[in-house]
Amino acid sequence: MWSKIAIQVAKYLATTEQGHKISKWLLLGVICFFVLVPVIAFAPISGFVTGVSSFFSGEEGDDLNDAADLDALLNDNFNITETKYYRQIEKARTRHINEVSKEQEARAKEVREENKYTVTYTDSKGHSHTRTVYPVVETPQPEPPVISVLAYFCTTKEVQLADPNQKLSVADVKEFYQKICKRPFKVERINKDLYIVTVEYMSDNEIAEMLLVERVFEDEGDEDLFRVSIERLTELFQVSGKWGYNGVPSGNLSNIAVAEQIWNFFKGKGWSDYACAALIGNFEAECSLRPNLQETGGTGIGLGQWSHGRRTKFLNWLHSNGKDICDIAAQCEYILVENIWYSGNIKLYNGGGIRHQSKANSLSEFGTYGYQQTTDAVDDFLWHWESPNYKKAQLDRRQGAALDAYNMFAGGRKPRVNGSYAQIKQSFFPGGRLPQNASEMKPYLTDISFINSAGVRKHITVHKSVAADLVEALNEISAGGYEIKEIGGYVWKTKTNSNSGDRSSHSYGLAIDINPNYGNPQVKNGKRLVGALDYGSHALSMKNGDIAVSTMSAYGWKWGGNWTSSKDYMHFSVPGD
């Protein structure tokens, strides 16, 4: 009953001339207690906009329809991501990302040049050579904030959030993004071969302090309104679904070999496929599957980025048991020894009041719980084992990496490596049905990468079932000194050495080409069909018995240089065609 009275009073204040006058008196603090109470009940909605008075501002006939907008807010029909001002924030944010990414790439080139080094090696004839090695410099996409920026405009520009037609200046938003973008960019050295250049932005606290110093905020009241705005906006965005997992996984596994070790360890403990995938997806977001990663500016360490007291116990356990931090099995074992699980309905850290109810009640139950999809398992492990900062949880990365792990390892089925070309290809797909077009093939593909012998990271797309072994093979080849300058994998196409019209194994992610323009051509009837140089004319021409051919053969890939009717010296495939 009281809530209905409060709503009616709030509507009266919002939609009548007398109500407007009363609202202004309320702000001056000269209204009586019994009128103030209902307005306080309404304050959580109006306070985060621009204060009570500005929320009710505007004459009848203006864009703001107070009664309709109030009804929408109170009845949960309001979706902030459908408003004009939100779309303008997104437009400005996209433009800012494009511009600042160019600066980031320029800095990455500088870092690459600043940290190059030379190595000496001996070739197969015993001759010594030197070469310059450039580190890989990763440039994660900038993630400028949305909520704190919108809160700034709510506080300073009197943006009325209840009005979906409210507009913002894209130029003003871009200018503010430039203002809160930290420079110089953060340069993180992982090792001599890997650096990361990251674009960082001011935190909510740093933005508030800056605006106070610059007197944009006149007093603590403005600062309080800014902070309350952030809390309320977080709730609105959560309701809209914008900042939760949006159904489009974005993560990929950074180290498939490590992922496979984790998978095999916990499958050996009786865990379900979904639980194993969730664990891997979460660790990918925590440390890119680098077991000895130390958090920059924090205490997190290891696959799970154990921090504070949990870090101390983790390191003590490793030491007392004579384990090395790079030992994947040891870290997996410690997860079971630690046996941490925050069960029940918990409040998410820095989540603006958002809560999550665990499906599993313990870590052991998590391992065997009957999850029906990776998303549920990821959420359970994320909030009830990891328990991270909600605003920095990287939900899509965790979900995407978990899905990749599931598609790559689930079921334990090993596709056949012997049989006819058709039989081998069919064994990689459910029911033996080959995809009929590129769209059907897409769910079976994954991107993998490795660092070649020259220190350059190379990327390739292949079938998920062959990805783990292929990464190991390419790493072994590179460690052996053979330089993979060029490499290609999946492409939807027909065979180039046949008039049959059959699809190439490349179409199914089961074939790769290495160094086609470095003396590894495709040849038929003595004529070079593909490739820039004749076979054997370059030091990188592959031969039977060398490290490239022997390593790929050991992992089950057949070399086109052994064909009889034609030769495809660049080509390796699982089926053999």
Greater pLDDT, 167 or 319:
319
CB atoms within 10 A of CB 508: 26
DSSP state of 15: H
Instruction: Tell me the per-residue pLDDT of 472-497, one tens digit each, with 9 for 90 and over.
Output: 899 999 999 999 999 988 888 776 65
Residue 235 phi/psi, 5-degree rounding, is -65, -40
Greater pLDDT, 476 or 524:
476
pLDDT score for 178:
93
Residue 46 phi/psi, 5-degree rounding, is -80, -30
pLDDT score for 237:
64
What is the rounded distance in angstroms from the CA atom of residue 570 to the CA atom of residue 577?
A: 13
What is the rounded distance in angstroms from the CA atom of residue 363 to the CA atom of residue 360?
A: 7
Residues contacting residue 18 through CB under 8 Å, at least 6 positions apart = none
pLDDT score for 60:
30
CB atoms within 10 A of CB 543: 13
What's the rounded mean pLDDT across residues 507-524?
Answer: 90
Residue 9's pLDDT band (cuts 50, 70, 90): low
What is the rounded distance in angstroms from the CA atom of residue 292 to the CA atom of residue 274?
A: 25
CB atoms within 10 A of CB 28: 8
Mean pLDDT of the chain: 78
Instruction: Tell me the per-residue pLDDT of 260-281, one tens digit each, with 9 for 90 and over.
Output: 899 999 999 999 999 999 999 9
For the four alpha carbons of 412, 574, 448 and 468, in that order, the dihedral sign comes to positive
The secondary structure of 258-313 as a DSSP string is HHHHHHHHHHTTT--HHHHHHHHHHHHHHHTT-TT-B-TTS--BTTTTB-HHHHHH
Q: Is the pLDDT of residue 500 over 80?
A: no
What's the rounded mean pLDDT across residues 531-544?
Answer: 89
Q: Is the pLDDT of residue 513 over 90?
A: yes
Instruction: Tell me the per-residue pLDDT of 126-156, one tens digit each, with 9 for 90 and over.
Output: 888 888 888 878 787 788 888 888 888 877 7
What is the rounded distance in angstroms from the CA atom of residue 331 to the CA atom of residue 327?
A: 7
> Quick check: bond before 142 cis, omega within 30?
no
187 forms beta bridges with 197
H or E element, residue 207: helix 204-213
pLDDT score for 394:
76
pLDDT score for 57:
35
Greater pLDDT, 34 or 194:
194
pLDDT score for 208:
85
Instruction: Tell me the per-residue pLDDT of 299-314, one tens digit each, with 9 for 90 and over.
Output: 889 999 998 899 999 9
H or E element, residue 477: helix 464-479
pTM of the model: 0.41
pLDDT score for 74:
39
What is the rounded distance in angstroms from the CA atom of residue 106 to the CA atom of residue 183?
A: 14
H or E element, residue 549: helix 547-554
Token duo for residue 447: 């991107």
pLDDT score for 162:
62
pLDDT score for 85:
81
The region, left, alpha or beta by phi > 0 then psi within -120 to 50, assigned to residue 29 is left
pLDDT score for 312:
93
The secondary structure of 363-431 as a DSSP string is HHHHHH---SSHHHHHHHHIIIII---GGG--HHHHHHHHHHHHHHHGGG-----SS-HHHHHHTTSGG
Instruction: Tell me the per-residue pLDDT of 430-455, one tens digit each, with 9 for 90 and over.
Output: 777 888 888 888 888 888 888 899 88
CB atoms within 10 A of CB 175: 12
Reduced to 3 states (helix: H, G, I; strand: E, B; else coil), residue 177 is: helix
Instruction: Tell me the per-residue pLDDT of 25-59, one tens digit each, with 9 for 90 and over.
Output: 555 554 444 444 444 444 333 333 333 333 333 33
What is the rounded distance in angstroms from the CA atom of residue 550 to the CA atom of residue 451?
A: 19
132 forms beta bridges with 118
pLDDT score for 279:
95
pLDDT score for 34:
43
What is the rounded distance in angstroms from the CA atom of residue 229 to the CA atom of residue 155?
A: 8
> Which domains occur in the chain, in start order?
2-77 (no CATH), 81-240 (no CATH), 256-412 (1.10.530.10), 421-573 (3.30.1380)
Instruction: Tell me the per-residue pLDDT of 113-133, one tens digit each, with 9 for 90 and over.
Output: 999 988 887 777 788 888 888
Residue 21 phi/psi, 5-degree rounding, is -65, -45
The secondary structure of 523-542 as a DSSP string is EETTEEEE-SS-TTSSTT--
Greater pLDDT, 549 or 527:
549
